[in-house]
Amino acid sequence: MSFSQEYQQLPTVDKDAGEQESLQRKDPRKRRFPLLVIAIVIIMCASLPCARMIMSRRFWAACHVPQRNTSTLAKLPSHYTLPSGDKIPSVALGVWQASKGEVGNAVKTALTAGYRHIDGAWIYRNEEEVGQVLKASSVPREELWLTSKLWNNFHAPEDIETALDQSLSMLGTNYLDLYLIHWPVAFKKEGNNIMDEDLTADPYPTWQKLEELVDKGKIRNIGISNFNIRRIQNLTANKLKYQPAVNQVELNFWNPQPELLKWSKENGLLLEAYSPLGSNKQVGKSLSVPEVKDIACKLGITPAQVIISWSVQRGTIVLPKSVTPSRIVENLEVFEIPQEDFEMLEKAAASHPPQRVVNPSTGWKLPFDVFDGQ
């Protein structure tokens, strides 16, 4: 089985503050005020954004090698070309776990920074807020790449278009650039986590309906998510009108999946990497990997940029998620890593047992491991 696909390397000042401060100093009861301020600052700096800023400053101070100017670094491909001919941006803003009231600002920041690829899903419960920002944006729809995903409860052929229409309505668009089967498992409509054995065993009926929606113009490209090699082969053993455009999977330093990456390249299937910096609990550890820090010092870029650049250089689309403006901007800047450093990082990633974080098999009470233990 081989897919036809080519890659395109393509400070506010209060005028009365002085007077107020003088009055406060005359009152000995107010002398505790500076201590209160210090306490508040300490608490604020315990937060993740501030802590990461401090760690970043310490990181640069610890670099003892000459740093290259990033303007001299080669850029990595900004897009890949899918079988349809559509060009998909190589870095996206992922909005998984971005809560209401946060996701809108994150998307707004991303669009301003130059992102044109937003990766979402119906189950993330934030598509409406994303849509509101897109509507208010000056970025034309045709310049955006919007992805959503079909949730497990909607695999019955009669439910698929209704589920898609919900996402389209919330996002404020009449088509999606990419629609994925979120998981290779289907639940029955009448209950949560009650598996539909037929549709789980054979995703072809779901795929046929998605193909119809491509023909209707509601979707431009269709793909899969969290499929391993065996499950991909089960799907593509059927006579498909449209081959999967991408497979979105957990892919990072701790779970590099070299076998899946190699097989996918050999068969022309593009991988998308979610959690590219690791899960929330792994991010700090990812940014502290010695090889990552060494490359960052050498190139004059941040450890996060090293990991995201490495992921793009592996030939994958990368979906970093953040609601912090500075990190959103930082994550979009990717640079080519020298080959010897790239190989060093690849070797380091493969030197430890893989650590998969996202596996809902037990939580969903499935009678099997959705990843077949891989």
Model pLDDT for residues 56-80, shown as the tens digit of each residue: 545 555 675 555 555 557 889 999 9
pTM for this entry: 0.83
Q: Report pLDDT for 155.
A: 96
Q: Report pLDDT for 59.
A: 55
Q: Report pLDDT for 97.
A: 84
Q: Report pLDDT for 69.
A: 56
Q: Report pLDDT for 64.
A: 57
Which tens digit of pLDDT belongs to each residue from 223-275?
Answer: 999 999 999 999 999 999 999 999 999 999 999 999 999 999 999 999 999 99
Does the active-site annotation cover 124? yes
Burial of residue 202, with CB atoms counted within 10 A of its CB: 0-12 exposed, 13-18 middle, 19 or more buried: middle
Which residue ranges of the chain lie beneath pLDDT 70?
1-62, 64-72, 191, 374
Q: Report pLDDT for 73.
A: 75
Q: Give the active site residue among 124, 175, 204, 274.
A: 124
Q: Report pLDDT for 66.
A: 53
Q: Report pLDDT for 270.
A: 98
